[in-house]
Structure 1
Amino acid sequence: MIADLSGARWFKSSRSANADACVEVAHLEGGMIGVRDSKNPSGPALVFTPGEWDAFTAGVNEGEFDRR
């Protein structure tokens, strides 16, 4: 999916230290969510539909992606 990211307002988690090695998120038009690497702000970004983002964040909260 190609999304217009030119006007996106990117933010980091409030739990991030002021380091450059963070993931940034932006709320996009149509409820889409953009995710990018703060070390490479002009690089590629992932774009999720609202349902995909909800599934991802639910998986994170449930420990689905924890290293075992």
Structure 2
Amino acid sequence: MRSSDRLQGLSWRRSSRSTGMNNCVETALIGPATVVGTADGPGRSGLRVAVRDSKDTAGPALLFSPAAWELFVREVRAGRFERRS
């Protein structure tokens, strides 16, 4: 079974900055929220963020902890991945 088959029915979101040309990623939140604190922060035990290519929605998805995804987004916003000429 492909990972995308197990992620059917999730509520996928695109960036509000997406141009509609399917050249972005989509994200979905997976798992139940709990009140138990974890290394990912309070109330987030068992949660994962699924990320997939909007051009290949039936393809694979990567799974991240909420803390790892938030760190990645923060680093992108800070310009840490900009190409240097």
TM-score class normalised by the smaller sequence: 0.7 to 0.9
TM-score normalised per structure 2: 0.67
Number of aligned residue pairs: 66
Q: Which structure has more RCO (C-alpha within 8 Å, separation ≥ 6)? A: 2
Segments of 5+ residues of structure 2 without an aligned counterpart are: 32-45
Which structure has the greater CA radius of gyration? 2
Matching of residue 45 in structure 1 with residue 61 in structure 2: yes
Structure 1 residue ranges, 4+ long, deviating more than 6 angstroms after superposition: none
Segments of 5+ residues of structure 1 without an aligned counterpart are: none
Identical residues among aligned pairs (%): 45
TM-score normalised per structure 1: 0.81
Partner residue in 2 for 1:63: 79
